[in-house]
Amino acid sequence: MKLLGKILVAMDFKHASEEALGMSLFLAKEFDSEIILIHVIPEIKDFQMARGKIRKKVTDKLKHMEMDLKRKGIASVETITRFGIPFERIMEHAEELDVNLIVVGSGKGDKKFPLGITAERVMIYADKPVLVVKQGSRPFIRRILCPVDFSETSRRALKNAIHLSKTFQAHLTVLTVFEPLLSNYFGVGQTPGERKEKILVKRQQQQFDRFLQGFNLENLDWKKTIRRGKPHQEILRAVDETKSDLLVMGSLGKTGLSRMLMGSTTERVVREMPGSMITLKQEHVFRFSLEKEVVEIETHFKRGKQLLKEQLTETAVAQFEYCIRKDPFFIPAWEAMALAYQQMGQKKKAKRCKEMAEYIRQHLWEK
């Protein structure tokens, strides 16, 4: 299995999508990836379109792009033309084809959708990793910035950022940001607020060091940095100061509180980011080896068990869910999740998890 097997590129034949294609070509050449070009024709209500003629015109354009990519060394290229709502069709085909990465260009949008409607909605709602290529971005990677908040999504982002840095021999900056506790109320000097902030800084440094211990940073040109302030502002300042070509950042889910949290940092960064950016949620960009995946499952399971002991049940469930996404037949994760739901008072969910563990044991393992 290739590390970066399939890249789905959203094409609208504007300059931004051409730059997105340029970045996709850059990545595909390095990783011997397949490029899949998709164009979605919006269907306008009460407007009779000559569907056949429009489809043919779009298909011809994509075929010319396909031939050009093959001339440039891409062995496998596929083209897709569909009618519908662009971001929905893009996400549907990303899931159906099980692509590694969705690439979208970001042109000049409006105040409501600075990235453009399609790019922003794909970035927000897609579960697959998304690379947003800003207009004017150059198709190379020399400096990478990866902000982390010690969450599972930022852990995933850093793992992918490290692989990109090693592949392209790019400098990597790993950043974490904490928000200050101090206010002007205490004034200057050794105040209770200042002492608390010093403790916070020390804890942040210790947590940062523990977080980084889980990664292989050998033979890598990298540095770590801690900044104080509003996360999205400090991330953008760091991008400017390090002159990063690519930002690799984990983001949260698409509904409820997760959606709100994502909007407060990741989404604001993407909207103002001057260059290209990869956002990751539930999946890696790169398909690492099975052996590494097994180690990951065991690590997440142990972490979940520890969180369960500490009564952090919701966070523990997230760890067990990760294990099950990677291996749906991993009985210990189903059983541990049942226990977590039992502790949370969610008896129906606990019962379902127990039944699933028993079903797997009886019908799949014991035979």
What span, in angstroms and rounded, lies between the C-alpha atoms of 132 and 115? 9
Residues 276 and 147 grouped into a single domain: yes
Residues 297 and 276 grouped into a single domain: no
Among 262, 280, 298, give the residue marking a domain's end. 280
Residues 150 and 271 grouped into a single domain: yes
Total domains in the fold of the chain: 3
Stretch (H or E) spanning 52:
helix 51-71
pLDDT of residue 1: 58
Residues 223 and 110 grouped into a single domain: no
Which runs of consecutive H residues, i.e. helices, occur in 126-230? Answer: 152-168, 192-212
pLDDT of residue 260: 33
Q: Residue 128 domain-assigned?
A: yes
Number of CB atoms found within 10 A of residue 197's CB: 16
Q: Residue 203 domain-assigned?
A: yes
Residue 108 CA to its chain's centroid (Å): 23
DSSP state of 179: -
Is there a contact between 251 and 283 (Cβ–Cβ < 8 Å)?
no
Residues 227 and 195 grouped into a single domain: yes
Q: Is 36 in a helix, a strand, or coil?
A: strand
Residues 353 and 273 grouped into a single domain: no
Question: Which of 83, 90, 136, 103 shows the shortest CA–CA distance to 34?
Answer: 103
Q: Residue 75 domain-assigned?
A: yes
Query: Domain residues for 127?
Result: 6-134
pLDDT of residue 183: 47
Q: Residue 285 domain-assigned?
A: no
Question: Which of 157, 114, 87 shows the shortest CA–CA distance to 273?
Answer: 114
Is there a contact between 94 and 102 (Cβ–Cβ < 8 Å)?
yes
Residues 258 and 307 grouped into a single domain: no
Number of CB atoms found within 10 A of residue 215's CB: 15
Among 280, 302, 321, give the residue marking a domain's end. 280
- Extract the tokens encoding 145: 């910035």
Query: What are the residues facing 250 on neighbouring strands?
Result: 280
Strand order in the sheet with 143-147: 77-83, 34-41, 6-10, 101-106, 130-134, 276-280, 246-250, 143-147, 171-178, 222-228
Q: Residue 37 domain-assigned?
A: yes
Please report, for the domain that includes residue 244, its CATH number. 3.40.50.620
Q: Residue 1 domain-assigned?
A: no
User: Identity (one letter) of the amino acid at 227?
Assistant: R
What span, in angstroms and rounded, lies between the C-alpha atoms of 278 and 245? 11
Residues 20 and 123 grouped into a single domain: yes
Residues 253 and 147 grouped into a single domain: yes
Q: Residue 198 domain-assigned?
A: yes
Among 224, 248, 280, give the residue marking a domain's end. 280
Query: Tens of pLDDT along the chain (367 residues)?
Result: 588 999 999 999 988 899 999 999 999 999 999 999 999 998 766 556 678 888 999 999 999 999 999 999 999 999 999 999 999 999 999 999 999 999 999 866 555 556 778 888 898 889 899 999 988 777 889 999 999 988 888 889 999 999 999 999 999 999 999 887 654 444 444 455 677 778 878 888 999 999 998 898 988 999 999 998 888 899 999 999 999 999 999 886 443 333 333 446 777 787 777 789 999 988 899 987 555 566 678 888 988 999 999 888 888 898 899 888 877 888 899 999 999 999 999 999 999 999 988 888 776 544 3
Q: Residue 272 domain-assigned?
A: yes
pLDDT of residue 111: 59
DSSP state of 150: S
Residues 18 and 117 grouped into a single domain: yes
pLDDT of residue 289: 59
Residues 55 and 97 grouped into a single domain: yes
Which runs of consecutive H residues, i.e. helices, occur in 213-330? Answer: 231-242, 256-264, 266-272, 290-309, 313-326
Residues 39 and 163 grouped into a single domain: no
